Structure 1
Amino acid sequence: MKQNILYSFRVLVLITLCVTEQVFAQAGEETPVPVPVACVRRHIETLASDEFAGRSGASALMAAEYVTDQFEKLKLQPVFAEESFLQVIPGPVDEAGNSTTAGWNVTARWTPAGAQFPNEYLIVAAHHDHLGSRKSGIYYGADDNASGVAMVVEVAKSLIRSDIKLDRSVLFVSFDLEEHLLFGSRWWTAHPPVPLEDIKFVIVADMLGRSLGDLPIDSVFLCGAEHGSGVRKTVSKIPFADTVQPVLLSDDFVGLRSDYGPFRDRKIPFLFASTGQSRDYHTMVDTADKIDFEQVAAISTGLARLIVAIGNQQKAPEWIESPEIDPSEVKAILEICRQIDEHAVEWELTAIQKFFVDQTRSRAERILSQKTITPEDQRWLTRTTQMLLFTVF
């Protein structure tokens, strides 16, 4: 009983701080109001709590209902049949021939007053499901991906409560079944609430608030900007925070990692935001106490600003089929290799892993010394960085 009282008191304090920060942030802002740290913390600690039991199956429905409740409080518009925020994802027919439900996507719409292109949509998305509970315990999934859901909810709140102009509608989406071959986002894009051709840009976040391999890298990796015309340039002008450095990477470098995949397959410009896979990925110790809440809030604020910048462009981003990589992306790979070298002993890397990292670093340095990046270099970087992620982290 005492623990329950203390928990309730802590939640009350966080909610009070959240509201207070939001009120002070609103005064005199011409850009989206900064996302409060206390609000981010409250969402993550709630979704990664014992009560939500790892957010799989029935507890994934709890998470979907939690997100729905947040959207209702913001007075967002439902988009599915019968004025619902929930999209049922059907499961296989059971032995009795009855239909089943595999999961629940959540989607809400916001059309700003005076929008010039109200029937064109931007998407801000994450996935709320995780691995659930097993005999060994709960897979809390704070980084993967309560952090991303917190971003979606708080970006929605920031945009709605800001006195800003936005010329396109925004869909806020929380997918289920990402951990099951992206089935939730695959179902959503196969049965969209708006025509896919009207979706102009998508931001998907997965794993915010830790860092790649727990290396001391204060960066958020933004992957896929190269596929949208003008997106790289727009990102370069967006202030995130002094403590968070946005780093552009080719989506080819990381492979298919999250729910942006079905949109990429349909050639819809996108951006995948992540601070990288921590060493607690898909373990029971991916807990809320390890999250850098300030970092998640700063990234969320930056992404809200990015949505405004792209949403107010006269011409929406268009798909680029075969983009070239940028030297800054090679520099990012080089910096990751250097950080791995510094932590090789701590990580107990094998001789083969060390050799692989050294080879990657050496080739990256050589590529940067050249005047141009050849198609062969680009193919090599793509293969190598994907191997690096799977063999070292």
Structure 2
Amino acid sequence: MIPKLNFSIALIFLFIINPFSDVFSQEEITKQELKDHIQFLAHDSLKGRFPGTAQNKIVVDYIKSDFIANGITSEFQEFKAKLKVDSSEVKTWNVIGFIEGNDPKLKNEIIVLGAHYDHLGESEGSIFNGADDNASGTAALLEIAEKVKTNHRLLKRSILFIAFGAEEQGLLGSSYFVNHPTVSLNDIKLMINMDMVGHLNAENHVYMGGAGTFPGGMQLMDSLGMPNHVKPVVHAGSIAGSDHVSFYKKGISVLGIHTGGHDNYHKPTDVIENLNLVGEVKVANYIYSALMAIATSTREMKFIAQD
């Protein structure tokens, strides 16, 4: 484990990793940048990224600063989250980034890429760092956003990047967004969600549900596996368990992507040392390829309900 940081040192670490200058933007998704993000987000000093805490605000500032550093327009969406533990309400945020497409018509169609940043906090003297759940997804969100920005001239459709708060409290951040959207829900053609993408197994399996909710989704997600050195396990339905569910309930096509369950799930042992960072690079590139295949094309995008 790396040494424990106090808040002031953690904030210095934030700005070292995320200087406010796009000269540091990289086109490629790298193991080192993923590691840097996860190492920060899953550090003991952030005490499990629990909603309503000072550490939670450090995280949202970190995410927004990274968007801004890479030239991505960003904003906070504040909301109240009711906690499961005692039904109290706390203030937390979604962090939203936006890159506009270039096609005069299709830029009005939006693809959402999302991941939740919160975790379980502390309990009985243990910190639940949530390295896979979901520092891994948040890191992938930031890295993919950076790569999209370097290639933004290719975009026809626009992209919203959303880091959701309070997912562990009942999908509260995504539920708040779809009920208080910053864009018209009618314009959102697909929501891709990343939740636990840091445990790619030896067979390189990437699991996903919802690929049948838009035309050609099954074929697209299967075809992108080999070029990205992963083996997709693609389901037309199987829509459950994370923030994409909030969008599906509003009649929006979704993909929920993960690398599978493991023994460290919701335990203090979900730490960076147990992740497969080389594997996460593959997963992030796979998701980037899917995002760009849709955002740079004129392919038809419409909602298809699944049983």
Q: So what's the TM-score if we normalise by structure 1? A: 0.67
The answer as to whether partners of 2:228 and 2:286 remain within 8 angstroms in 1 is no
CA-CA distance at 1:197 after TM superposition? 0.4
Residue 44 of structure 2 corresponds to 50
Counterpart residue identity of residue 235, structure 2: L
Shift, 1:216, TM fit: 4.3
Contact 1:200-1:316 within 8 A present in 2 as well: no
The SS at the match of 1:55 is coil
> Which whole-Å CA distance do the structure 2 matches of 1:275 and 1:227 have between them?
20
Quick one: structure 1 residues 273 and 217, their matched pair in 2 at CA, closer, same or farther if it must change by over 3 Å? same
Which one is further off, 138-147 or 100-109? 100-109
Percentage of matched positions with identical amino acids = 27
Q: Which amino acid aligns with 2:45?
A: E
2:181 matched to 1:192? yes
RMSD after superposition: 2.9
> Deviating runs (4+, > 6 A) in structure 1?
19-22
Would you say 1:107 and 2:96 are equivalent positions?
yes
Whole-Å separation in 2 of the counterparts to 1:127 and 1:184:
8
Residue of structure 2 equivalent to 1:125: 114
Cα displacement (A) at 1:312: 2.4
Any idea what SS the aligned residue of 1:251 has? Answer: coil
Among 71, 76, 83, the alignment partner of 1:86 is: 76
Q: Deviations over 1:296-330 (max 9, x none)?
A: 1111111111111111232442112247xxxxxxx
Greater Cα offset, 221-230 or 124-133: 221-230
Q: Which moved more, 1:230-239 or 1:285-294?
A: 230-239
**Counterpart in the other structure of 2:274:** 290
Is the counterpart of residue 233 in structure 1 residue 227 in structure 2? no
Q: Tell me which of 229, 237, 260 is aligned to 1:276.
A: 260
**Aligned counterpart, 1:178:** 167
Q: How does 1:219-368 map to 2 (within 5 A)?
A: 219-239=205-225, 243-252=229-238, 256-322=240-306
Counterparts of 1:262 and 1:163, CA distance in 2 = 27
Q: Is the CA contact 1:226–1:232 (under 8 Å) kept in the aligned structure 2? A: yes
Decide whether the 8 Å contact of 2:29 with 2:281 is kept in 1: yes
Structure number with bigger Rg: 1
Separation in structure 2 between the aligned mates of residue 149 and residue 221 of structure 1, nearest angstrom: 18
The alpha-carbon deviation at position 4 of structure 1 amounts to 7.5
If the length of structure 2 is used for normalisation, what is the TM-score?
0.85
Query: Displacement, 1:137?
Result: 1.1
> Equivalent residue of 2:154, what SS?
coil
* Alpha-carbon distance between aligned partners in 2 of 1:246 and 1:291, rounded to the nearest angstrom: 19
Distance 1:281 1:265, change over 3 A: same
SS of the residue aligned with 2:170? coil
Contact 2:114-2:164 within 8 A present in 1 as well: yes
Q: Which runs of 5+ in 1 are unaligned?
A: 24-32, 79-84, 93-98, 324-393
Q: How far apart in 2 are the matches of 1:296 and 1:115?
A: 35
Cα distance in structure 1, aligned partners of 2:205 and 2:94: 29
Contact 2:157/2:296 (8 A) holds in 1: yes
Instruction: Give me the whole-angstrom Cα distance separating, in 1, the residues matched to 2:49 and 2:63.
Output: 12
The 8 Å contact of residues 101 and 152 in structure 2, kept in 1 or not, is answered as: no
- Could you tell me which runs of 5 or more consecutive residues in structure 2 were left unpaired when the two chains were aligned: 83-87
* In the alignment, structure 1 residue 63 sits paired with structure 2 residue 81: no
In 2, are the aligned partners of 1:89 and 1:187 still within 8 Å (CA)?
yes
Q: Deviations over 1:369-388 (max 9, x none)?
A: xxxxxxxxxxxxxxxxxxxx
Number of residues of Structure 1 aligned to a counterpart in Structure 2: 290
Alignment of 1:17-32 (within 5 A): none
Contact (CA 8 Å) 1:88, 1:101: kept in 2 or not?
Answer: no
**Structure 1 pair 121–163 and aligned structure 2 pair: CA distance change class (3 A):** closer
* Distance change (3 Å), C-alpha of 1:22 and 1:91: closer
- What secondary structure is seen at the aligned counterpart in 1 of 2:282? helix
**Deviation, structure 1 residue 60:** 2.1
Q: Which moved more, 1:191-200 or 1:114-123?
A: 114-123
Where does residue 75 of structure 1 map in the other structure? Answer: 71
The range that moved more, 200-209 or 309-318, is 309-318
Deviation, 1:163, is: 6.6
Structure-2 separation of matches of 1:205 and 1:88: 21
